[in-house]
Amino acid sequence: MNLEKVVFGFFVLLAATLNFGYVLGDIDNPKLHNVYELYAAVVVNIIATILKFGDRTQIGAVHLATSLVASIQLIVAALVWIWARHVDPGGLTGQHMSSVVSIAAGAFLANVVSIILLVVETVSYRRR
């Protein structure tokens, strides 16, 4: 067992599940999208990205790329949320919420790719 793989697999999966949990529910209903879930998804995604730093394998590079995409999208979603909640005088409307959730849904797609890569890597792993 490789502790590095465990930690990385844990974070990638956690990132995807948190992301999924946040996206789940009516897209424009703020009550169904808890901000803490978004927050946790951002944090875990950033950690998953950092964990791929310095990996020189081909699959590691693609991992880094997908994690970066997911992190950036989630950060953008968080920024939109901050804008709607604190800056926009109209407050957090359903329209705002739907764009936050749809951006987060995009990040979820990247996370799914990340998981596919993880599975591919695991399946093709051979002890030499």
Partner 1 sequence: MANLLQLLGRGKPARPRPDSLRRYRVDVPAELPTTDAVFMVLRRMRAPLVVLVSVFAIMTFGLSTMPGTEENPDRLTVFDSFYVISYTGLTIGYGEVPHEFSYAQRLWVTLTIYAAVVAWSYSIGALLSLSQEQTFRQAIRLQRFGRKVRSIQNPFVLVVGYGQAGEAVCRALEDQGRDFVILDEDPERVQQLALDGYSSDHPGFAASGRDPRMLGLAGLGHDHCEAVLALTDSDETNLSVVMSVNLLRPELMVIARCSDREHAQQMHDFAADVIINPFDRYGAYLVMALRRPAGFRLASWLMSKRGSVLPHRLHHLTEGQWVVCADGTFGFEVTRDLESAGLDVILLDPADGRPDVSDAVGFIAGAESDIVNMANAAHARIENDQLFIAVRQNSATNAAPLQAFDADSVFIPTELLAREAVARITSPNYWSFIDHVLHEDDEWDRRVMDEIVAVVGDETPISTRLDLDFTGAPAVVRWLTEHELTLGDLVRDPDERDVRLAVYPAVLVRAGRRIFTPGMDQTLKEGDTLLLLGREVDLAVIRSTIFHDAAVEYVATGREVATSWVMRRVQKLAGRPKDPAPRAPVPPPDDEG
Interacting residues toward partner 1 by CB under 8 A: 35-36, 39-40, 43, 46-47, 50-51, 53-56, 81-82, 85-86
Residue 75 has a CB neighbour count (10 Å cut-off) of 15
Residues in CB range of 42: below 8 A, 6 or more apart: 71, 74, 75, 78
Q: Give the nearest distance from C-beta 55 to partner 1 in angstroms.
A: 8
Of the candidates 63, 37, 68, 46, the one whose C-alpha atom is nearest the C-alpha of residue 115 is 63
Coil vs helix vs strand at 119: helix
As given in the structure block, the two tokens for residue 84 are 């709607």
Q: Give the nearest distance from C-beta 128 to partner 1 in angstroms.
A: 19
Q: Give the nearest distance from C-beta 95 to partner 1 in angstroms.
A: 19
As given in the structure block, the two tokens for residue 89 are 């005088």
Coil vs helix vs strand at 60: helix
Instruction: Decide whether 44 or 69 has the Cβ nearer to partner 1.
Output: 44
Q: Give the nearest distance from C-beta 93 to partner 1 in angstroms.
A: 17
